[in-house]
Amino acid sequence: MMRIVAFAWSLVMGLLSVFLLGPLVLVAIFSFSSNALISFPMGDLTLKWYRDLFVNPDFYAALSNSLAIALPVALISTVTGTLAAYAFAEWRTRLGLPLLALLGLPVLLPPLVIAISLVVLYVRWLGLPLGRPAVIGGHVLVTQPLVAAVIASRMASFDFTVLEAARDLGASRWQTFWKVTLPQMRAAIVGAALIAFALSLDEFIIAVFTIGGGNTISTFVWGKIKTTLDPSINAIATILLLMTIGLTLIALRLTRYRG
Amino acid sequence: MTGWPRMLRRGLALFPAFGILTGLFFMPIALLLAVSFWSVRSYRLVPGFALDAYARTFSFYGPLFISTMLIAAAVALLCVVVGFVFAYGARFRSGRYGDLFILATMITLFGGYLVKIYSWKAILSANGILNSTLLWLGLVDTPVSWFIFNRGAVIVALAHFLLPFAILPIYSALRNVPDITLEAARDLGASPWTTLVRVVLPQCKAGLVAAFAICFLSAAGDYVTPMFLGGGSGIMLGQFIVSEFSTRFNWPVGAAMSFSLMGVSALVISAIWLAVVGRRG
């Protein structure tokens, strides 16, 4: 009986893992298949789709747009999110958590609503053009609360007495921050920045509404899915997967996130 | 005390994040709310206070509204049930492999929004992997057409996308259930089922409702998944928010639909919170 139960659990967990990872694995496998479509049996091994992609100037344009958005997003949201988390941690009152929740509100609402409200703001009220800065603003809005949450959870296990020790030994507030706080927080901060970067690379809905002209990687993928059955989608999708998953796995190691 | 007063320092530390939050979230949302009371005459926005946009939302889009809520509820329920099974298995039934299952969840979480939708399209379409496998195995003679372009396909793909968002909060709730209480229940003669219903579930109610809320909200607001997998005329409100907003340039109706969607979703979630967790939280 015990054996049967244990076997049933392994089976259930195995099947659910296949359900979770299967769709991603399929795309990656078929990016190396000579079949134009994802279908069975798969064709010969080929790197043709990657070659097609790497000679396509549109791909590089989209990639450089995405990087030109994701880098500032990671930088800005890491600074604003870390500062906010620092203030929450110092507060040590009941006000910290509600403030963190308030900061997280943009993540809770549908991205579609965030996107159209930004378009209304930029176009109708500020008369600003859409484009990369517009996307950066929207992305910072949804990445800074995640940075703040990652940093705040690291700070929860932070030993504040070492700061007092540093101050007692004559370090200024600024010196304490640079020489004691920051080195201890470095891994968490880098991890949070990588997560913000990965989220910005992958984000589609805010990007497609606020980019105006041009493409990011995700709107480029969108264009391909929408119009044609272009097999190079598998290749772009695999590259995108490798970037986002790779970055977040490194980030998870750095922040020692455990579920 | 040397240096800046405490309050000022904290204020300065909070300022950048909350400045961005105010400028790019509270302000635009307030503007969008204002726009939802405007009207459109001969393709021009007319400021004012009219309820026309809301009237159109609940009359013309009424049936679609209900269909959207039902799809979101189905997705959220599916995610909570399957998410609970998976999180429970990872927490209590997998020994040292538990962390690996959570890693698989994290990989799925970050594995690309559009990539997942595209992959489901490739799996379910008439010449996709599922049909070509069934044909190859000789289980069917002609491709099955009902795998895609209907509510079922949208629910499956959304559930796949949102499952990690259900697993993680439920898992973290289950991590707070001490092993010792389970052992105590078993020693006192409780069956595994009784232990689950009377010991485990009451301790992770809040996590379950949180998972439901996240999945319900995200599913209700999605438009890309139904666009690709839901078939021709559109089955979810988000698709029509996009078309009212971008192709018909009727911002008031697009805005009114957005606020109605969020308002009704909030009501559904509060009702479930009160029913499951109760007033005292």
Residue B21 lies in a domain: no
Residue B217 C-alpha, separation from nearest chain A C-alpha, in angstroms: 7
Q: What does the alpha-carbon distance between residue A79 and residue A83 come to, in Å, rounded to a whole number?
A: 6
Report pLDDT for B40: 87
Q: Are the C-beta atoms of A147 and A78 separated by less than 8 Å?
A: yes
Q: How many pairs of residues across A and B have Cβ atoms under 8 Å apart?
A: 226
* Residues within 8 A of B (CB atoms), A 142-201 only: 144, 148, 172-173, 198
Q: What is the pLDDT of residues A137-160, one digit of tens each?
A: 999 999 999 999 888 888 877 777
CB contacts of A110 in chain B (<8 Å) are 217-218, 220-222, 238, 258, 261-262
H and E: helices and strands count for chain A: 12, 0
Out of B31, B217, B261, the one facing A125 most closely (by C-beta) is: B31
**What percentage of residues in chain A have a pLDDT greater than 90?**
45
Report pLDDT for B216: 96
Task: Find which of A110-114, A127-131, A234-238, B274-278 is predicted with most confidence, using mean pLDDT.
Answer: A110-114
Residue A229 C-alpha, separation from nearest chain B C-alpha, in angstroms: 10
Report pLDDT for B281: 45
Model confidence at B241: pLDDT above 50: yes
pLDDT (mean) for B22-45: 92
Q: What is the pLDDT of residues B180-214, one digit of tens each?
A: 888 899 899 888 889 888 889 998 998 999 999 99
A230: tokens are 């272009």
Instruction: Please tell me the total count of domains within chain B.
Output: 1
Report pLDDT for B94: 83
CB contacts of B16 in chain A (<8 Å) are 79-80, 83-84
Q: State which residue of chain B sits closest to A111, comparing Cα positions.
A: B221
Report pLDDT for A92: 62
Model confidence at B79: pLDDT above 90: yes
The Cβ of residue A15 has, within 10 Å, a number of other Cβ atoms equal to 11
Tokens 């009451």 found at: B202
Q: Which residues pair with B41 in a beta bridge?
A: B44
Give A186 or B262, the one with higher predicted confidence: B262
What is each CA distance from A104 to A82, A240, B222, in whole angstroms?
14, 26, 19
Confidence of residue A79 (pLDDT cuts 50, 70, 90): very high
Residue B266 lies in a domain: yes
Residue A237 C-alpha, separation from nearest chain B C-alpha, in angstroms: 6
Residue B86 lies in a domain: yes
Q: Are the C-beta atoms of A199 and A142 separated by less than 8 Å?
A: yes
User: Got the DSSP string for chain B?
Assistant: --SS-HHHHHHHHHHHHHHHHIIIIIHHHHHHHHHTT-EEETTEEE-S---HHHHHHHHTTHHHHHHHHHHHHHHHHHHHHHHHHHHHHHHHSSGGGHHHHHHHHHHHHHS-HHHHHHHHHHHHSTTSHHHHHHHHTTS-SS--STTSSSHHHHHHHHHHHHHHHHHHHHHHHHHTS-HHHHHHHHHTT--HHHHIIIIIHHHTHHHHHHHHHHHHHHHHH--HHHHHHS-TT--SHHHHHHIIIIIS--HHHHHHHHHHHHHHHHHHHHHHHHHHT-TT-
Q: What is the pLDDT of residues B85-125, one digit of tens each?
A: 999 999 988 888 888 999 999 999 988 899 999 999 989 98
Residue B179 lies in a domain: yes
Domain with B254, as residue range(s), is 55-276
Cβ distance A103 to B163 less than 8 Å, yes or no, reads no
In angstroms, how far apart are the furthest CA atoms of chain B? 83
Q: Which residues pair with B46 in a beta bridge?
A: B39
Domain of residue B259, CATH code: 1.10.3720.10
Cβ distance A237 to B171 less than 8 Å, yes or no, reads no
Q: State which residue of chain B sits closest to A172, comparing Cα positions.
A: B3
- Grouping H, G, I as helix, E, B as strand and the rest as coil, residue A31 is coil
Model confidence at B83: pLDDT above 90: yes
- If phi > 0 it is left, if psi is from -120 to 50 it is alpha, else beta; for residue B142 that is beta
**What percentage of residues in chain A have a pLDDT greater than 70?**
95
Report pLDDT for B54: 95
Q: pTM to 2 decimals?
A: 0.91
Residue B238 lies in a domain: yes
Out of B21, B45, B118, the one facing A225 most closely (by C-beta) is: B118
Give A149 or B163, the one with higher predicted confidence: B163
CB contacts of A40 in chain B (<8 Å) are 129, 132-133, 136
**What percentage of residues in chain B have a pLDDT greater than 90?**
59
Model confidence at A93: pLDDT above 70: no
Out of A91, A110, A120, the one facing B35 most closely (by C-beta) is: A120
Q: What does the alpha-carbon distance between residue A79 and residue B162 come to, in Å, rounded to a whole number?
A: 29
Say which range, A102-111, A170-179, B18-27, has the weakest mean pLDDT: A170-179
Q: What are phi and psi of B94, to 5 degrees?
A: -115, 0
Cβ distance A113 to B262 less than 8 Å, yes or no, reads yes
Report pLDDT for B1: 44
Nearest to A143 by CA among A88, A198, A98, A89: A198
Report pLDDT for A91: 67
pLDDT (mean) for A163-186: 87
CB contacts of A241 in chain B (<8 Å) are 111-112, 115
Domain ranges (residues) in chain A: 57-255
Residue B148 C-alpha, separation from nearest chain A C-alpha, in angstroms: 15
CB contacts of A24 in chain B (<8 Å) are 107-108, 111-112, 115-116, 119
Q: Are the C-beta atoms of A18 and B123 separated by less than 8 Å?
A: no
Q: Which residues pair with B40 in a beta bridge?
A: B45
Q: Are the C-beta atoms of B132 and A40 separated by less than 8 Å?
A: yes
Residue B22 lies in a domain: no
Confidence of residue A72 (pLDDT cuts 50, 70, 90): very high
Residue B3 lies in a domain: no
Give B224 or B48, the one with higher predicted confidence: B224
Model confidence at B280: pLDDT above 80: no
Tokens 């990639």 found at: A63
Confidence of residue B236 (pLDDT cuts 50, 70, 90): very high
Q: Are the C-beta atoms of A240 and A221 separated by less than 8 Å?
A: yes
B146: tokens are 């009902």
CATH architecture of A57-255: Orthogonal Bundle (1.10)
Out of A27, A103, A173, the one facing B21 most closely (by C-beta) is: A103
Give A83's DSSP letter: H
Q: What are phi and psi of B202, to 5 degrees?
A: -60, -30
Residue type, B174: L
Confidence of residue A161 (pLDDT cuts 50, 70, 90): confident
- Which of A4, A17, A49, A253 best tests the B interface by mutation, with the highest count of B CBs <10 A? A17
CB contacts of A30 in chain B (<8 Å) are 122
Cβ distance B220 to A24 less than 8 Å, yes or no, reads no
Model confidence at A259: pLDDT above 50: no
Report pLDDT for B279: 61
Q: What does the alpha-carbon distance between residue B269 and residue B267 come to, in Å, rounded to a whole number?
A: 5
pLDDT (mean) for B130-157: 90
Report pLDDT for A104: 92
pLDDT (mean) for A199-207: 95
Q: What are phi and psi of B90, to 5 degrees?
A: -70, -35
- Which of A15, A95, A205 best tests the B interface by mutation, with the highest count of B CBs <10 A? A205
Report pLDDT for A257: 56
Residue B24 lies in a domain: no
Q: Average pLDDT over chain B, rounded to whole? A: 90
Tokens 């940075």 found at: A147
Distance of CA A148 to the CA centre of its chain: 14
Give B8 or A11, the one with higher predicted confidence: A11
User: Cβ of A242 under 8 Å from any chain B Cβ?
Assistant: no
